[in-house]
Amino acid sequence: MSRVHIIGGGLAGLSAAVELAAQAQVCVYESGPACGGRARSFYDRSLDAIIDNGNHLLLSANSLTFRYLDLIGSRHTLIGPGKPIFPFFDLSKHRGWTLRLSGGRIPFWVLPGGRRVPGMKLRELSALLKIVRSKSDKTVASCLGNGPFSQKLLEPFAVSALNTDIQTGSARLLGNIVQKSLALGGKACIPFFPEIGLSETFVDPAISYLERYHAQIHYGTRVTALHQDKGRITSITTSGGEVAVEEGDHVILAVTAPVAKNLLPDIPAPDEFESIANAHFRLPTEINARGVVQKARFIGLVGGVSEWLFLKGNVLSVTVSAANRYTERDSSEMLATIWSEIRRALDPVLPSPLPVAVPPARLLREKRATFAATPAQDAKRPSATEAQSALGIANLSLAGDWTQTQFPSTIEGAIQSGLVAVSAAGFRSRVSVT
Ligand SMILES: Cc1cc2nc3c(=O)[nH]c(=O)nc-3n(C[C@H](O)[C@H](O)[C@H](O)COP(=O)(O)OP(=O)(O)OC[C@H]3O[C@@H](n4cnc5c(N)ncnc54)[C@H](O)[C@@H]3O)c2cc1C
């Protein structure tokens, strides 16, 4: 049986490993103490709770992600409202509303009747068409209008989907997401998130699956060099020693863009990044809200710093995307601001108000959460076969959310990239190289 060496145990590497487990001897080299990369959870001693490095929201449209979860048997660990509903709260106007998408492709939800963004006009839908039809050099801002549909829905959706501000964010990448979600109707837009944590949903079950196939997973093993001879990788230098890559073996490089660029200086790769900040607050008891907020267990927030608020038992977690703009802001001041926004959004739907004082809290900043999803950075993304076609290295394929997936940095993109890399390595895969 031939061996496939997978460098990097994030979701791209795990997706490749799971796809290959029954077809090849799989060896994963992960520099960290655990797999998961930018989608992981951990026990935080100061909060005495399991928290994610960052809240992740999935949509039912993410079909490759759901297929991955079905393979590893963990779809049931996701929760969500079970319907395409999105409660929102405008912090500047102190007003809440709920977007209730209609199930099919015909968007009945845009008609008057309490399911759409308050005050929106039908003609504002033209912004969506502009986004879907935009050329690769267009920014999101150049497609948006001034009305509530653009300001209160498309803009926050764009910032969180691209993790990049609308002035520089790529309309084409956003358009690709819209085509695979909103344009397919509400059935494709049912939101989900892990009930316990990202590792419990995406990582631990994948490791158990891989162990059943006797895959080798080398934790704490950093790859520092790839050696080539006569158009193929012949050995890998790791912090644990030298690994021979035998004739017939393949290598999948599934590390982050900067690490890939270090190992293979001649490949193109994005080189600008955006951060995401996540604030976690632990309360003495579980939070039970009323109505649609309790059903959804999250709220989209506009008009403040906070963007998505998740209710996870006795932990309240807030996501702040495109957070490079807040780099200079002191963490305790950020926490105080976010806590006051949580109170404003949640108090109206709680049986009793939240405490005024900031409870035990943690602010996590992922400095290089995603590549900056601008047209210029998108143009720098290599294909899975770039090392084969441009560098002439026959037994090396690339994976990672930063490779050319047609999506911004997302779980779906990472999982798809792992599948494409498997196909590029000459094995059976759900997604083939295009
Ligand atoms: C805070 C945050 C919030 C997010 N929210 C969402 C969301 O709501 N929805 C969504 O779809 N996506 C979201 N994303 C994006 C998503 O997490 C990523 O797209 C995805 O996890 C990337 O997976 P990857 O495998 O491509 O990269 P990574 O997860 O970065 O994996 C790379 C792996 O390689 C390892 N590695 C690095 N160097 C070496 C080396 N030299 N040797 C061996 N191993 C090495 C790393 O330790 C890591 O495990 C979010 C990301 C962040 C950070």
Same domain, 284 and 321: yes
Q: Residues 73-77: what's their mean pLDDT? A: 98
For residue 249, give every residue at least 6 positions away whose Cβ sits within 8 Å of its Cβ, in sequence order, or none: 2, 3, 4, 5, 395
Tell whether ligand 1 has an atom less than 6 A from the beta carbon of residue 157. no
Using CA atoms, how far apart are residues 141 and 118, in angstroms rounded to an integer? 21
Nearest atom (ligand 1) to Cα of 262 = 41
Probe target for ligand 1 pocket from 56, 176, 224, 262, with the most ligand atoms within 8 Å of CB: 56
Quick one: 408 exposed, middle or buried, by C-beta within 10 A (0-12, 13-18, 19+)?
A: buried
Inter-residue contact 274 to 370 (CB < 8 Å): yes
- Which of 348, 371, 394 corresponds to the end of one domain? 371
* pLDDT at 107 (0 to 100): 81
Q: Do 263 and 283 lie in a common domain?
A: no
In a domain, 301, yes or no: yes
Q: Quick check: is 294 in a domain?
A: yes
Ligand 1 atom 10: the closest Cα is on which residue?
410
Q: pLDDT-derived band of residue 87, with 50, 70 and 90 as boundaries?
A: very high
- Residue closest via CA to ligand 1's atom 52 equals 369
Measured distance CA(231)–CA(234) in Å, rounded: 9
Is the beta carbon of 65 within 6 A of some atom in ligand 1?
no
* DSSP count for the chain of H helices, then E strands: 14, 20
pLDDT at 193: 97
Residues 388 and 242: beta-carbon distance below 8 Å: no
- Report the range of poorest mean pLDDT among 8-22, 26-40, 103-117: 103-117
Tell me, yes or no, whether 278 and 341 share the same domain.
yes
The pLDDT value recorded for residue 106 is: 78
Is 392 among the domain residues? yes
The pLDDT, as a whole number, for residue 332 is 97
Q: Which helix (H) or strand (E) holds 244?
A: strand 241-244
Shared-domain flag, residues 169 and 284: no
d(CA 268, CA 386): 9
Helical ranges in 107-170 per DSSP H: 126-133, 148, 155-162
**Same domain? 277 vs 366:** yes
Phi, psi for 300 (deg, rounded to 5): -85, 130
* Cα–Cα nearest to 138, from 180, 170, 183: 170
Overall number of domains in the chain: 3
Based on the fold, state whether residues 238 and 172 are members of the same structural domain: no
Residue 242 within a domain: yes
118 and 162: one domain? yes
- CA-CA distances (angstroms) from residue 390 to 234, 257, 260, 268, 408? 18, 17, 15, 10, 23
Residue 178 CA to residue 57 CA, distance in Å, equals 15
The answer on pLDDT for 245 being more than 90 is yes
**Is 207 inside any structural domain?**
no
Whether 287 and 362 map to the same domain: the answer is yes
Helix (H, G, I), strand (E, B) or coil at 417: helix
Are 131 and 175 in contact by the 8 Å Cβ rule? The answer is yes
Instruction: State whether 298 and 346 are in the same domain.
Output: yes
What local confidence, expressed as pLDDT, does residue 310 receive?
97
In terms of C-beta density within 10 A (0-12 exposed, 13-18 middle, 19 or more buried), how is residue 256 classed? buried
Query: Does 193 reside within a domain?
Result: no
- CB of 12 within 6 A of ligand 1: the answer is yes
**pLDDT for res 111:** 80
- With the most atoms of ligand 1 within 8 angstroms of its CB, the residue from 14, 18, 27, 38 to mutate is 38
Cβ density class 268-300: b for 16+ within 10 Å, e for less: ebbebbbbbbbbbbbeeeebebeebbeebbbbb
Check pLDDT > 80 for residue 115.
yes
Q: According to the model, what pLDDT value does residue 135 have? A: 86
Structure confidence by residue, pLDDT tens digits, 197-241: 999 999 999 999 999 999 999 999 999 999 999 999 999 999 999
Interacting residues of 413 by C-beta distance below 8 A, sequence separation 6+: 401, 405, 406, 407
Residue-level pLDDT at 432: 85
The reply to whether ligand 1 has any atom less than 6 angstroms from the CB of 410 is yes
User: Which of 277, 264, 303 minimizes the C-alpha distance to 370?
Assistant: 277
Instruction: State which of 133, 165, 184 marks the end of a domain.
Output: 184
C-alpha 358, offset from chain centre? 28
Helix axes 411-424, 63-72, angle to 10 degrees: 70
Give dist(CA 288, CA 297) in Å, integer.
9
* Strand arrangement of the beta sheet that strand 250-253 belongs to: 216-218, 25-29, 3-7, 250-253, 396-398
Closest-lying ligand 1 atom to the alpha carbon of residue 57: 8
Is residue 316 in some structural domain? yes
CATH of the domain at 418: 3.50.50.60
The residue segments making up the domain with residue 247 are 3-33+219-271+378-424
Same domain, 50 and 27: no
Residue 8 in contact with ligand 1 by CB distance below 6 A = yes
Query: Is the pLDDT at 113 greater than 90, yes or no?
Result: no
Model confidence at 356, in pLDDT bands (50, 70, 90)?
Answer: very high
Q: What is the pLDDT of residue 156?
A: 92
Measure Cα distances from 256 to 124, 149, 246, 269, 352 in Å. 38, 35, 25, 10, 45
Q: Are 265 and 383 in a shared domain?
A: yes
Model confidence pLDDT, tens digit, residues 143-196: 999 999 999 999 999 999 999 999 999 999 999 999 999 999 999 999 999 999
Say which residues have a Cβ less than 8 Å from residue 330's Cβ, sequence separation at least 6.
none
| Ligand 1 pocket residue status of 32, Cβ below 6 Å | yes
Nearest to 9 by CA among 271, 207, 291: 207
CATH number, residue 288:
3.30.9
Angle at 324 (CA atoms; ends 323, 329), nearest 5 degrees: 80
Q: Does the structure show a pLDDT above 90 at 267?
A: yes
36 vs 33: CA distance, rounded Å: 10
Asked whether residue 236 is domain-assigned, the answer is yes
Q: What do you get for the CA distance between the two ends of the chain, in Å?
A: 26
Question: For residue 388, what are its two tokens?
Answer: 């084969």
Q: Please give the Cα distance from 421 to 15 (Å, whole number).
A: 10
Q: Are residues 113 and 178 in the same domain?
A: yes
